[in-house]
Amino acid sequence: MPKIAGKKTSGKTGPVKTKTGTSVLPTEVTAKKFIERLKTYQSDEELKKIQRYFKSGKGDYGYGDKFMGVRMGTLFAVAKEFGEMPIKEIEKLLESRIHEVRAGAVSIMDKASRNKKISMERLKDFFDLYVRRHDRINNWDLCDLGCLYMTGSYLYDKPRDILYTLARSKNIWERRTAILSTCYFIRQGDTSDTFKIAEILVSDKEDLIHKATGWMLRFAGAKDRKKLIAFLNKHAATMPRTLLRYSIEHFNRKERDYYLSMKK
């Protein structure tokens, strides 16, 4: 079970000091202040790197995204400072057209969800906002930030029906959210949902779903190799090659060759 305290973490009166060497008072934990801080770290050189890295041209999955040019490591450090941001302010960040601002919103929720003192109410607010405003999650990195810990930690001791709904969505990012949200479960030794959702996604047409599903299968296989072997014996011949390669990445050469040879 996730270790989550029953009390809120709000009510701090002093500044929060972080790796950036600055501090934020509770009264300054707003979307406006967060964006102002990000702008101080803007770099044209970093902007060029980001634009080469993310696909945001016409026809690409990130089409329409605007970039500021802030290094992700710096963004994460600033997000940690703003962990007490009210949920309405986080939603304002999600509404931005600037990719790093939206990434900041999800990172704030991710960083804060990892705090052992977080209240279940706060964690629920994060989860509800992420799902309700999934229209603002339009790239693989935003899914990864939101789902490798936050969504799964909330759902761990609750019904997980929503993940199966998302897995059948027409939206690629909702499907990616479904499989990556099982990451937290795997860490706790629970791999059942990973394999069940992988069954739904095994014939998906999108490469980014193949990669995410293969990644989680590989992770789950490290906990329960027999289940992964059974899954591969059933699907290796027909599953997308990228998904298969990601799933068997930790196998020895002989085992990898065996499953790759099953491909039709």
Give tens-digit pLDDT for 209-251: 999 999 999 999 999 999 999 999 999 999 999 999 999 999 9
Tokens found for residue 132? 């309700």
More confident residue, 40 or 14: 40
With CA atoms as reference, report the closest residue to 136 among 86, 62, 75, 35: 62
| Structure confidence at residue 104 (pLDDT) | 98
What does the pLDDT read at residue 57? Answer: 60
Bridge partners of 17, per DSSP, are 23
pLDDT of 56 higher than 80 = no
Cα torsion through 69, 73, 77, 78, rounded to 10: 10
Please choose, from the candidates 171, 264, 209, 235, the residue with its C-alpha nearest in 3D space to the C-alpha of residue 248. 235
Residue 15 scores a pLDDT above 60: no
207's tokens: 């490469």
In this predicted model, what pLDDT tens digit does every residue of 119-159 receive, in sequence order? 999 999 999 999 999 999 999 999 999 999 999 999 999 99
Q: From CA 182, how far away is CA 193, in angstroms rounded? A: 7
Domains in the chain, please, with CATH?
A: 1-157 (no CATH), 159-264 (1.25.10.90)
Give the pLDDT band of residue 53 (cuts 50, 70, 90): confident
Location of structure tokens 């993940």: 163
Specify the pLDDT at position 194.
98
Return the residue matching tokens 């909330």.
Answer: 154
**Mean pLDDT, the chain, as a whole number?**
90
How many angstroms separate the CA atoms of 129 and 9, rounded? 18
Alpha-carbon gap, residue 105 to 86, rounded angstroms: 11
Quick: pLDDT tens for 35-47: 999 999 999 999 9
At residue 63 the predicted structure's pLDDT band, cuts being 50, 70 and 90, is low
Rounded to whole angstroms, the Cα distance separating 242 from 65 reads 27
Q: Position of tokens 């990616």?
A: 176
Mean pLDDT across the stretch 21-47? 84
